[in-house]
Amino acid sequence: MKVLVVYESMFGNTATVARAIAEGCSDAGALVALHHVSEVDPHTVDDYDLVVAGAPTHAWSLPRPSSREEAVRQGAPAASGTGLREWIAEVDPRVGARPAFAVFDSRIGTGTARHFTGSAARRAARDLRARHRVLAEDPASFFVEGASGPLLPGEVVRAHAWGSRLARSAPVGS
């Protein structure tokens, strides 16, 4: 199985989750490519059996230019203009086309905030379904302590296990 893991990350937490997912996929026997979303042409995903895509949750959804600018004001490094929202908008809309997709996000997960932060992954799933793409798994969330992190204890291990499960269960071929 060939897996592409793409991510958008502002403070490094989503990148850490993406690496753990990629390692989980690899440990389960998949051939894995891991890239920031700005490095991958969304028109070239057809060579993969599975694309795993993730982003941080900003303002209850996928990051947008204004929320990226706000993250920079909060201390994140400057981001590229292409994020997961823009990347998904460029994925070719094809019914039943390979590859299958799985989506994840990072979001605040302490106290009651876990229930009120929204989910970039749910928005990404909706956007991919609107492009007639198949989801191999329900969206997954990995939790951080605050807007800039760090990841909560156990989240990297959970991401690795999720990646391993994805690689073992996702459909191969079309």
Ordered mean pLDDT values, 10 residues apiece, the chain (174 residues): 96 97 98 96 94 94 91 84 92 83 92 67 96 94 91 97 94 59
Q: What are phi and psi of 71, to 5 degrees?
A: -60, -40
The answer to whether the beta carbons of residues 119 and 57 sit under 8 Å apart is: yes
pLDDT at 110: 72
What residues contact 100, with CB distance under 8 A and at least 6 apart?
49, 50, 51, 133, 134, 135, 136, 170, 171
pLDDT at 94: 79
CA–CA distance, 108 with 96 (Å, rounded to integer)? 33
pLDDT at 64: 92
pLDDT at 105: 97
pLDDT at 174: 44
Torsional sign, CA 132, 173, 141, 23: negative
Structural domains of the chain, with CATH: 2-169 (3.40.50.360)
Token pair recorded at residue 71: 């993250």
Q: What strands lie across the sheet with 50-56, from one edge to the other?
A: 31-36, 2-7, 50-56, 100-108, 140-144
- pTM for the predicted model, two decimal places: 0.93
How many other β-carbons are positioned within 10 Å of the β-carbon of residue 114?
Answer: 13
